[in-house]
Amino acid sequence: MVRRIASATPTAQSPISPLGTTYCVRPNSVSMNIHRRPLVVASTDEAKVTIIYAGLLIPGDGEPLRNAALVISDKIIAFVGPEADIPKKYLRSTQSTHRVPVLMPGLWDCHMHFGGDDDYYNDYTSGLATHPASSGARLARGCWEGLQNGYTSYRDLAGYGCEVAKAINDGTIVGPNVYSSGAALSQTAGHGDIFALPAGEVLGNYGVTNPRPGYWAAGQLCIADGVEEVRRAVRLQLRRGAKVIKVMASGGVMSRDDNPNFAQFSPEELKVIVEEAARQNRIVSAHVHGKAGIMAAIKAGCKSLEHVSYADEEVWEHMKEKGILYVATRSVIEIFLASNGEGLVKESWAKLQALADSHLKAYQGAIKAGVTIALGTDTAPGGPTALELQFAVERGGMTPLEAIKAATANAPLSVGPQAPLTGQLREGYEADVIALEENPLEDIKVFQEPRVITHVWKGGKLFKGPGIGPWGEDARNPFL
């Protein structure tokens, strides 16, 4: 079937017609199926073997290697080490060979929102006004762009990620691996409420007890009050295929009328959310700004904390002791500060200005204290996600190597037991790998240039590189 795809900037990998439209043949769902297999390297007699020679190999966790090589066999990394040490069995069975300046794990964005709204930041009202079909179209484009930009994994923390993941996994569309929470859980008058609308309108669409919720029960937000409602809210997200559960445990910036300093949900409600998630081997990620919400989330057993704007040494010690991951989402704050709050309602702009300095101090403090950090942007697929690496270095105080570790090796911790073996260039790990023509250890901003990302492998399949079309097909033999 020939499919018409709106074009991006013309590149050698995606030839563009004079009319600005890419025409390609969409491979069938069998050839594009990217469901993960057990982490077992197949016999070289059966497996497709790819050898990548790298002038510099950044493993994700550990020191870089010069003049290194990586072997992919049956979607799994089979060898990593000096070029001279490649086992002969792989040299005999090689099907493709690449030589690149820099090789590293694929990037993760650990805090995304798969909303696809017309205007996400306008007090959430567009989430109800935008039809899911429109959202899906935008998300499909954003996921394709994200993969082209070197992002092989996304964690969605409120949106249609569960549904988009299914379309990616069955080969309908192309994009990163997606690990989604489904809807974020909020109390009434909480960070997930829509204060610009009557309560009945909001609860009628997002309330967990709505008997006929239509599309919106499988949307971005889920409002629940009391232990039985929050229990059902968790189960509804698990029914969708959620890999992690997201809870709004404090007020926020984008919710017009609540206070970021105040805790949300009772201790009993938070405890049930964590317990119900753990029953299905899921961790809970908590949106928190003020210390009251932070400490409540820690006490309840949340394993990933987002934002954490008003924190101190006590918070960092508890997080280190309990092995809690921190995802700061600094870039979205920097973007709004630079634009003077463009797109925000006045109440949200005032709240963002009030917490911006405290958030930066908290971020810097967490880095100095040795808290485990992963990077996330609080934006949508295909956005300026690589800015987070820049701000981790320039504002947070990380080294470029530390920022890369936070965007790769640490990132799978954000989905707890649901995480695959990925994020590092190590034998037995899934082959989510990218190549660059410039060295990010010398300039962390190179990730912001799509042209610098020359190759992208996801699950061992090459989705960007010489001779590769927009759908990851061989552009020279599109019917294969």
The pair of structure tokens assigned to 448 is 């912001």
**Residue 243 to residues 182, 183, 206, 294, Cα–Cα distance (Å):** 8, 12, 20, 22
C-alpha dihedral sign at 334, 337, 341, 347:
positive
Residue 457 phi, psi dihedral angles, 5° rounding: -105, 135
Q: Helices marked H in 207-308 — which ranges?
A: 227-240, 267-279, 291-300
- Residue 109 annotated to the active site: no
DSSP for 406-475, please give it. Answer: HHTTSGGGGGGGG--S-SS--TTSB--EEEESS-TTT-GGGGG-GGGEEEEEETTEEEESTTB-TTS-BT
C-alpha dihedral sign at 117, 118, 122, 125:
negative
Asked if residues 41 and 9 have their Cβ atoms less than 8 Å apart, the reply is no
Cα separation, 74 vs 59, in Å, equals: 20
**Angle at the Cα of 89 (from 84 to 90), degrees rounded to 5?**
65
- Residue 303 annotated to the active site: no
| Type of residue found at 245 | I
**Residue 85 to residues 68, 171, 452, Cα–Cα distance (Å):** 9, 36, 28
What's the DSSP call for residue 106? Answer: P
Which is catalytic among the residues 243, 246, 458, 464? 246
Asked if residues 326 and 373 have their Cβ atoms less than 8 Å apart, the reply is yes
Helices 132-148/161-169 angle, 10° precision: 60
What's the DSSP call for residue 244? Answer: S
Question: Long-range pairs for 8-17 at CB < 8 Å and ≥24 separation?
Answer: 8/145, 8/148, 9/450, 11/450, 11/451, 12/466, 13/464, 13/465, 13/466, 13/467, 13/468, 13/469, 13/470, 13/475, 14/469, 14/470, 15/475
What's the DSSP call for residue 265? Answer: S
Asked if residues 308 and 373 have their Cβ atoms less than 8 Å apart, the reply is no
| Type of residue found at 393 | V
The pair of structure tokens assigned to 294 is 């932070």
Name the strand (E) or helix (H) holding 81: strand 76-82
Which is catalytic among the residues 74, 117, 193, 378? 378
Catalytic residues: 246, 378
